[in-house]
Structure 1
Amino acid sequence: MKKINISGIVLVICIFVFLPGSGQKPMDAGFTKLFNGKNLDGWVGNKESYRAQDGMIIVDPNGGGSGGNLFTKDEYSDFNFRFEFQLTPGANNGLGIHAPLEGDAAYVGKELQILDNTAKKYAELQPYQYHGSVYGIIPAKKGFLRPVGEWNEQEVIVRGSSIKINLNGTTIVDSDFLEASKDGTMDKKEHPGLERNKGHIGFLGHGDVVRFRNIRIKDLTKK
C-alpha cells in the first residue's frame, strides 16, 4: 500500500484555506462563527440593504435610507464578540448590543459607534460620538483606527455591566455602563437599555457603505 503524507496534505489545506488576503482566519478557541460567509442565515432584520458577498456582510443603502438594522437571531448576555470592519469615507454605522428587535438600539439597548472619525463632517463631534464609544454614555480613546479602506479588528467583551473594547490591539474602552451613568448620561438623555443585560447583537445602518467579516462570538455564560 502506498504511504500518504498526511502532514503534507494538512499543510496544503491550511495554505489553501488561509491564503493571505482572503480574510479567512483560523477559528479562535471557544468561539462560534455568526456569519457563514455565504448568506444571512442566523440573522434577522433588513436583508435588502445588507447582503452577503465574497465572505463579507455589506450594508449598502443604495444612496437612500439608513440601511436599517441587521441583528443576530439569538440573544446574548455576557460575551466576547470579535469582528473586522472596513469603513468607506465618512461612513457611520453602529454595533447594537443587549438590544431588542424594535426601537432605537442606542437607547433601548446600547450602541457602540462605528465611524470614520477623520471625515470633515464629524469635526465637531461630542466625546461620546467617536468610534468605539458607547453612544451617549462612555467616550472611547481616539487615534487607533486604521486609514479608511483598510480592515480594522475589534473585540467587545461584556460581563454584567462592564465593557471592554479593543481596537486593533489597543484598549479604547474599559468601563462600566451603570457606574458611568450613575450621575446622569453624557448626552443628558434617558437610556433604559442600560438596565438590560441580555439582547441581540446587530449592525445599525446610518446611510453609509460598511463591510464586515470574520464575525464570531464566545458566550461567556457557558462554561
Structure 2
Amino acid sequence: MNCKKVAESKPDGFINIFNGKNLENWEGDPTYWRVQNGILVGEIIPETLLKRNTFIIWKGGAPSNFELKLDFKISDKGNSGINYRSSLIDTLPFALKGYQGDIDGSNRYTGMNYEERGRTTLAPRGQKVIVNSQPNPESENSLKNNIVSNAWQSSEILASLGNQDSLLNYIKDNDWNTFHIIAKNNRLQHFVNGKLMSDVTDNDSLNRKQSGFIGVQVHTGPPMKVEFKNIQLKTLNSE
C-alpha cells in the first residue's frame, strides 16, 4: 500500500487518509456523501431512503495489519459503521463485505464487531472472544445455518470487558467520539474513546479476511446523519 499518495506520515506513524477538502481517494454515491466544513458527512433524507446499505470506500489501498483512528458523530436514529479488511460486491455499487466496527445513535451496538454480509455478530460490545469455523463446512448453507439471532455460533467467550451500562458511560450522545481499530494478524480490537469495547481473535480460516478495503456506511432505515473527521491510518508489521 502506497500511503504517500495521500499524506506524509506523522511522527507517530499515522497518515491522514481524508483531506477534509474533497473526496480524493474516496468513492461513494454523492446522493449520500459530501464534504462539509472539513467533515465527511453521510446523510439520508426522506427523499433518499435506502433499500440497502451503502458505503463510501477509501481507494488508497487494501491494508492488512494497521491501526485506524477517526472521530465520529451520529444522529439519534442513525446506524453506521466502519468496515475494514472488506471486499467489494461486484454486482452492487458501493457495497462491502467484511469486518465492521459498529456505530449507532442509540449506542446499543457501538463498538461491537459485526461482519457485514458475512458471519454477522462476531463479538458484542463487552466481549473478548475466539471465533472458529462452522461445523460441517462442506454442507449446503453451512454459513447461514451457523448464524442464530444474528450472531455467529462458533465462538468462545474468553473474558468480559465490562457490562453494557459501564461501557456505555464511555460513549457520548450527540457529540464527537473517537473510534480506534487495531487489526493485527487475526486479532481485531475496537476501542471507543480509549476504552476497549470488543476483542476478537479470528481463528476461522475458512471465512476470515487478512486484508481488504476500508469504508464507512450509511444504513437502511429512517433519515439519519453521520459525520467523520480526523481519519488516520498507520500500517503495522506482522510480528
Query: What's the CA shift for 1:170?
Result: 0.9
* d(CA) in 1 for partners of 2:172, 2:197: 17
Q: Give the letter for the 1:84 counterpart.
A: D
Aligned residue for 1:71?
A: 57
The higher radius of gyration belongs to 1
TM-score, length-scaled by structure 2: 0.66
* d(CA) in 2 for partners of 1:91, 1:134: 17
- Structure 1 or 2: larger helix share? 1
Aligned residue for 1:40?
A: 23
List gaps (5 residues or longer) in structure 2.
1-9, 115-120, 127-163
Q: Deviations over 1:27-69 (max 9, x none)?
A: 5611010100010101122233111111110001222125621
Contact 2:80–2:102 (CA<8 Å) still a contact in 1?
yes
Instruction: Name the Cα RMSD after superposition.
Output: 2.4
1:132 aligns with 2:111: yes
* d(CA) in 2 for partners of 1:206, 1:49: 11
List gaps (5 residues or longer) in structure 1.
1-26, 123-129, 183-191
Q: Aligned pairs, how many?
A: 173
- Structure 1 or 2: larger strand share? 2
* d(CA) in 2 for partners of 1:204, 1:168: 20
Contact 2:122–2:200 (CA<8 Å) still a contact in 1?
no
* d(CA) in 2 for partners of 1:81, 1:112: 11
Aligned residue for 2:228?
A: 212
Aligned residue for 1:151?
A: 176
Q: CA separation of 1:67/1:171 partners in 2, compared to 1, >3 Å: closer, same or farther?
A: same
Work out the percentage of aligned pairs sharing the same amino acid. 24
* d(CA) in 2 for partners of 1:169, 1:32: 19
Contact 2:124–2:198 (CA<8 Å) still a contact in 1?
yes
Q: Give the letter for the 2:181 counterpart.
A: V
Q: Give the letter for the 1:195 counterpart.
A: R
Q: Deviations over 1:78-123 (max 9, x none)?
A: 1100000001112100111111121664xx31122111235xxx6x
